[in-house]
Structure 1
Amino acid sequence: MAKVLYSATMSLDGFIAGPGGDMSWLTPFLGPNPTAEQLVPRIGAVLVGNRTFGGDDPHKGTEKEGAFEGAWHGPTFVLTHHPPARAQGDVVFVTDLHEGLAAAREAAGDRYVNVLGAEVARQLLAAGLLDEILVFAAPVLLGGGTRLYDGDGQVTLERLSSSESPLANALWYAVRR
């Protein structure tokens, strides 16, 4: 069964998006990263929050637009309270966290369900459904915005691996239950 992985690039002060969802801060830290490049083929489906799905993309309008600088192509499940009337390619809009995760897991097979969006990750953590967290730590301080985790209580993690990259170091953890 698919493991559920939350991945994000984070500033050293804990933000994954700047004020108002601004993602332009991320541009200088995008580029070759072996951990991210090795992850993409291990993803079988993406579960993303609606704010993240419709949010700011520093590569909008280019061939690198989308998750993992445009490298991800596959089933995407968007968790939203207000799904659009019309489908968008291989994007499925879901209104229930558990149903969305079940559909994403089925689509992922034995590969990862990759979670994008702090609120979806927080909900999965609260429900005990998140298995791993991968953070790309970028050497910048944003001072405000959307935190990687803004949940209720402490979550204990166990380090699986870490690697250095010139643009952002990768820190991979298992969620202890």
Structure 2
Amino acid sequence: MSKVVLDVSVSLDGFSAGPNVRPDEPMGDGGEGLHDWVAGTGPNGEVDAGVRRELDASVGATIVGRHTFELGLKPWGGTPWPGVPSFVVTHRIREDLLGDNGGTFAFDGLESAARRAKEAAGDKDVVVLGAEVARSLLRAGLLDEVWIHVVPRLMGEGTRLFFGERAELIPEGKPVAGAATHLRYRVSKNAD
């Protein structure tokens, strides 16, 4: 059964994007460096490359926020993973959009997007992109796991990942370290 998984890189001080996010800098000033580990060329790069391969193999669908969609469409060249359906959470519903890389974007509300993404993913996972939509999914009890890649840099400002949210996270497996430290947590569904 598919899970809804937030996969995100963050700075040591908890930012998932730098300040001044805009179309020509979709990750904000200095934010693109949060993904340097993905290349697998840093210290213990084989660890990072393995984490990336595992993520790529698990993706059956994605959920993205409207803002992330608008900023990411051009750099992605279509959907975040070629050929993989993406569900854009928005109040402004529109017709589906076929990406240049063979993936389709569907536009829907939060709960419907999560349901449709899980159906589309089959036995693979639904990967969440975007801090705002991740917070919304967490609040709605629809987020199952958090895969976080802690990058050894201090951003000082930018987009805080879970600013203002509270949840119990249960470790899944052991941390692994390459250029980033890779952690996995299951979101506890128990009420406080």
Query: Would the aligned equivalents of 1:122 and 1:151 in 2 still touch at CA under 8 Å?
Result: no
Match of residue 87 from structure 1 = 97
RMSD in angstroms over aligned alpha carbons?
2.4
SS of 2:155's equivalent in the other structure is coil
Comparing both chains, which one has the higher relative contact order based on Cα–Cα distances under 8 Å and sequence gaps of 6 or more?
1
Residue 50 of structure 1 deviates from its aligned partner by 1.5
Q: Distance in 1 between matches of 2:13 and 2:117?
A: 31
Residue type of the alignment partner of 1:37: R
Counterpart of 2:129 (choices 89, 99, 116) is: 116
Q: Distance in 1 between matches of 2:129 and 2:117?
A: 13
Alignment of 1:17-36 (within 5 A): 17-21=17-21, 22=28, 23-26=31-34, 28-32=36-40, 33=48, 34-36=50-52
SS of 1:55's equivalent in the other structure is helix
Alignment of 1:73-84 (within 5 A): 73-84=83-94
The count of aligned residue pairs is: 169
Q: Distance in 2 between matches of 1:28 and 1:136?
A: 11
For the structure 1 residues 94 and 148, does the alpha-carbon distance in structure 2 shift closer, same or farther, using more than 3 Å as the test?
A: same
For the structure 1 residues 91 and 150, does the alpha-carbon distance in structure 2 shift closer, same or farther, using more than 3 Å as the test?
A: farther
| Unmatched runs of 5 consecutive residues or more in structure 2 | 22-27, 41-47
| Unmatched runs of 5 consecutive residues or more in structure 1 | none
TM-score calculated relative to the size of structure 2: 0.78
Deviations 1:7-33 (A, max 9, x none): 110000000101122133335443122
Match of residue 11 from structure 2 = 11
Q: Distance in 2 between matches of 1:66 and 1:104?
A: 13
Residue 56 of structure 1 deviates from its aligned partner by 5.7
Q: Distance in 2 between matches of 1:72 and 1:94?
A: 18
Residue 61 of structure 1 deviates from its aligned partner by 7.8
Residue 79 of structure 1 deviates from its aligned partner by 1.2
Residue 119 of structure 1 deviates from its aligned partner by 1.0
- Percent identical among aligned pairs is 37
Compare the two structures and name the one with the higher helix fraction: 2
Query: Would the aligned equivalents of 1:5 and 1:134 in 2 still touch at CA under 8 Å?
Result: yes
